[in-house]
Amino acid sequence: MFNLENKVAIVSGASRGIGKVIAEETAKAGAKVVCVSRSLSDVEKIANTINEQGFTAIAMACDITNGEQYQEIVKSVIEKYGSIDILINNAGVTKDNLIMRMSENDWDVVIDTNLKGAFNGTKAVTRQMMKQRSGRIINISSVVGLIGNAGQANYAASKAGLIGLTKATAKELASRGITANCIAPGYIETDMTNRLPEKIKNTLVEQIPLGRIGKATDIAATVCFLASDEAGYITGQTFTVDGGMVMS
Ligand SMILES: NC(=O)c1ccc[n+]([C@@H]2O[C@H](COP(=O)([O-])OP(=O)(O)OC[C@H]3O[C@@H](n4cnc5c(N)ncnc54)[C@H](OP(=O)(O)O)[C@@H]3O)[C@@H](O)[C@H]2O)c1
């Protein structure tokens, strides 16, 4: 278990799925976690559970597509805790369709949330992290950003964009002691994948050398490592956490 004691971590999309587990696991590792999503009541539930278990979390509502709102959230975190050490850009949405049927709005919503949302978060924390001369930025991409997927042009473009954003951030902020890395999960067991018919799940598993769908804890463990002091010499990288599905 990696030690994140005395670190302040912001996790976007912490109300459910992978983000919820990242919030729980970073809190267990000792971080003070700021759980962010659009629904305050949903993130409050997660933060309350974390606090009841003896760890530390607070909840804040923010639509990450709105840069000004994100700046306000970061300002209040700095007022409360005095630092921001870790940013996990996890919030993401899908609006799948074939390109010829995909509306401009569905394109925009996915790019605005998955890519601009991560840029807004990164921009909001950068000044503070530069002042501290340390920080960890972790973007949650997807294997779809590496290999594409029919019916997901908007999602694949947003997730590939995150990899470019990660590399640019890493190069721009390395001299200030800030690292930026990306995680590209494969198929992870969440509400979304649980809804898939058994036949499709079995076909998916057949494509995974390790023979199982991933767990949110598989992603959270990689986050805890990348957020830790031990990962201080790693920046600008993308880690596929996918049971070996995509090997480059
Ligand atoms: N599940 C998988 O198999 C898988 C595979 C590869 C990559 N990923 C990536 O992993 C991340 C988490 O996936 P998941 O399956 O856990 O997703 P999920 O269960 O659908 O959760 C998405 C989270 O993002 C938040 N969110 C959405 N739009 C937002 C906005 N505009 N502002 C703030 N928060 C927003 C949601 O909360 P609110 O609705 O309350 O805002 C929710 O907390 C995503 O980036 C996804 O693309 C997932």
Rounded to the nearest 10°, the torsion over CA 162, 165, 169, 171 is 120
Pairing of strands 178-185, 135-140: parallel
Find how far residue 61's CA is from the centre of its chain.
Answer: 16
What is the per-residue pLDDT for 193?
81
Q: Does any domain span residue 50?
A: yes
Report how many helices (DSSP H) and strands (DSSP E) the chain contains, helices first. 10, 7
What is the per-residue pLDDT for 196?
82
Q: Does any domain span residue 58?
A: yes
CA of 104 to the centre of ligand 1 (A): 21
Whole-Å CA distances, 162 to 129, 151, 153:
20, 19, 14
CA of 20 to the centre of ligand 1 (A): 10
Spatial contact of 12 and 91, defined as CB atoms under 8 Å apart: yes
What is the per-residue pLDDT for 95?
96
- Kindly give the number of the ligand 1 atom that is closest to the alpha carbon of 143: 6
The pocket around ligand 1, CB under 6 angstroms, is made up of 12-13, 15-19, 37-39, 42, 62-65, 90-93, 113, 117, 140, 142, 185, 187-188, 190-193
Q: Does any domain span residue 160?
A: yes
Residue 225 belongs to what domain range?
8-240
CATH number for the domain that contains residue 56: 3.40.50.720
Out of 11, 22, 34, 37, give the residue to mutate to test ligand 1, the one with the largest number of ligand atoms within 8 Å of its CB.
37
Q: Helix (H, G, I), strand (E, B), or coil: what is residue 61?
A: strand
Q: How many domains does the chain have?
A: 1
Out of 10, 12, 18, 35, give the residue to mutate to test ligand 1, the one with the largest number of ligand atoms within 8 Å of its CB.
18
Q: Does any domain span residue 247?
A: no
What is the per-residue pLDDT for 70?
98
Q: Does any domain span residue 123?
A: yes
Whole-Å CA distances, 237 to 132, 159, 184, 229:
22, 14, 10, 16
- Which residues lie closer than 8 Å to 243 by C-beta, 6 or more apart? 186, 208, 209, 210, 211, 212, 213, 214
Within 29-142, where are the H helices? 40-52, 67-81, 104-111, 117-132
Q: Does any domain span residue 2?
A: no
What is the per-residue pLDDT for 208?
97
Instruction: State pTM to two decimals.
Output: 0.98
Q: Does any domain span residue 144?
A: yes
Catalytic residues: 155
Identify the H or E element spanning 36: strand 32-37
Place of tokens 């920080």: 135
CA of 228 to the centre of ligand 1 (A): 23
Q: Does any domain span residue 248?
A: no
Residues 205, 210: Cα–Cα separation, whole Å = 9
Task: Give pLDDT tens digits along the chain (248 positions).
Answer: 799 999 999 999 999 999 999 999 999 999 999 999 999 999 999 999 999 999 999 999 999 999 999 999 999 999 999 999 999 999 999 999 999 999 999 999 999 999 999 999 999 999 999 999 999 999 999 999 999 999 999 999 999 999 999 999 999 999 999 999 999 999 999 977 888 889 988 998 999 999 999 999 999 999 999 999 999 999 999 999 999 999 98
